[in-house]
Structure 1
């Protein structure tokens, strides 16, 4: 059953197919009129989000791995990295991070499929990128984070610039994935109760939101830009379950206020067990423009259409504006065979754009 103010669907990024063409063809076939953008599924070394970044960074002279024993994740070694003793961080030159290379390869596939009529005209190619904070906070030795952050941020900006130079702006959309931000914000609340502080900067809320706004503003006005707010997805579990949407709402409001350019969309997660109005109540205070699309990640493979509709009904008590649907995170690591049913659930509960 389509709901009157539930319009469109959004794919967060990772999808459990082996190649970009399969991802794009299948998304277009099953959700073509629901999607404004199609990603490449984050295939290859990007299969586990940012887990391939330590290997890329460690190729730089002046960077070392922490520990002598590799930590394997399929073809990857996810040991953290550190700045070598005596190295001036300002002298570090990072190699290509892999994001531009992957985007340009997938863009060729997207453009061909769109020219062949497989992907509808007007659909944009979506490139999902991590925030610099996410990579630095996840894989850099704690005492090196403050010094290394500007080095990595500059390297990621070069990746973005290469993407912007190669892909027509009117056919491109950039998504910034903000996950570690919520680990920091939840940890900040824990620190206030006497726990250990996580972040390497003073103001958790201001520091995280202003950093994300800076990345949003790197994207030119003629390119769409969105944010995926995330509580993690290891083995399809959050690192902590959000108690409600209060922190998500507060963070989104801060980011929109800090950014100089408009935000095209905001996506936020909805845990499978949260079909209660209390979870959604804080969204009544979401201060984003009507022109900014809102996607609620309330589609779950375990309970399909029935579960999505329950969560939609609860959300509609507090979200008075149109919104679209999504999963709460990417589903590149979901069990094989679950993708088509997930696509069909999106289609069943959301009207076309």
Structure 2
């Protein structure tokens, strides 16, 4: 049986605090991890769903709908540009990613100082693409108008992270889910995701992601997590195979000016057939490739079954879950960590 090299924690973890996330990950997976995230705890528990509350503070934006749409304590109502307001005059508040990263990095550093996290392991910060936030929470012409404003706000948060955290300790991951929904024509709750960007959006999506990758300095690691969403532990569309993932990843790598440190691709739980993995033969060479073939429902046995098939196409890769595990059922997190450890070798 092929034993993949190393493991990747995609981002969110179903623990309540960053210290428990990082300490437990280091204890269970140890030298299999090159990077450790903080688990996207607190208001980031459901990926980007806290962003409407942040952006809703902006003078010149209005919430759509009279009643809040509650997701625990988050109001997920979308937004619109108020009548007569020029989007170029909008000033967004800090998005919350920098403050969370800086706070969690102090926990990371404390754990490393006490020996719980090994020297050389990096602190991983996961950030959403503008396509996800702008596409999810704005509509029609507002999307194009808001895009440069939100991009500038994200770059401010990124710059704050780059200033506060030593580059030798830092890894940035761009989470790319909505783009895959657009390219594979997903429909979420009756809404066609492709309608978020008109025409054939492939080249535009490639250039947007390439620009985000190139915004990370060369002495900071940068990775990409390609994803088909996580709505109640289900994809918003099941990929036919890895063909779209490979085509998109290859185009992004070709469009960037810097190296991509790692690439993560999802693997649905039922896909232990050669057809799903076959397009990976055309994937451009990657510094590190992680396949999201670890699933809590079938643990080590299922992961090994998928590993056996994947390794006939790509002999070298690491393991991960297909998405973050922040919404996994309570009490399942350590079992998922154990599966990573059981099927992957150390770096």
Q: TM-score, normalised by structure 1?
A: 0.95
Q: Deviations over 1:41-74 (max 9, x none)?
A: 0000000000000110010110111111110000
Taking the aligned partners of 1:351 and 1:262, their CA distance within structure 2 comes to: 24
Map 1:230-269; keep pairs closer than 5 Å. Answer: 230-269=227-266
Distance 1:253 1:34, change over 3 A: same
Alpha-carbon distance between aligned partners in 2 of 1:201 and 1:259, rounded to the nearest angstrom: 24
1:339 aligns with 2:333: yes
Q: Where do 5+ consecutive residues of structure 1 fail to align?
A: none
Would you say the 8 A contact 2:173–2:224 is kept in 1?
yes
Cα root mean square deviation, aligned: 1.3
Deviation of 1:143 (Å): 2.5
**2:317 aligned with 1:351, yes or no?**
no
In the TM superposition, what whole-angstrom CA distance separates every residue of 1:190-213 from its partner, at most 9, and x where no partner exists? 9xxxx8951335432111111111
Q: Return the alpha-carbon distance in structure 2 between the equivalents of residues 64 and 202 of structure 1.
A: 28
Q: Distance in 2 between matches of 1:150 and 1:143?
A: 13
Q: Report the secondary structure of 2:151's partner residue.
A: helix
Show structure 1 runs of 4+ deviating over 4 A: none
Measured at CA, do residues 196 and 280 of structure 1 come closer, stay the same or move farther in structure 2, by a change above 3 Å? closer
1:18 matched residue in structure 2: 16
Alignment match of 1:304 (pick from 299, 307, 324)? 299
Q: Distance in 1 between matches of 2:285 and 2:136?
A: 29
Aligned positions of 1:1-353 closer than 5 A = 3-4=2-3, 6-187=4-185, 197-289=194-286, 292-320=287-315, 322-353=316-347
* TM-score with structure 2 setting the length: 0.97
C-alpha contact (below 8 Å) 1:300/1:308 kept by paired residues: yes
State the number of aligned residues: 343
Matched position secondary structure for 1:187 = coil
For residues 284 and 140 of structure 1, do their structure 2 counterparts lie closer, same or farther at Cα, with a shift above 3 Å needed?
same
Contact 2:181 2:193 in 1 (8 A): no
Distance (Å, rounded) in 2 between the aligned partners of 1:316 and 1:104: 38
Distance across 2 between alignment mates of 1:100 and 1:126: 12
Q: Tell me, what secondary structure is at the counterpart of 1:41?
A: coil
List per-residue Cα deviations over 1:165-196 (Å, max 9, x = no partner): 000000000000000001110129x9xxxx89
- SS class of match (2:244): helix
Query: Using the alignment, how far apart are the partners of 1:232 and 1:223 within structure 2?
Result: 26
Alpha-carbon offset, residue 124 of structure 1: 0.1
Task: Give how far 1:286 is off.
Answer: 0.2
Does the Cα contact within 8 Å between 1:268 and 1:328 map onto a contact in 2? Answer: yes
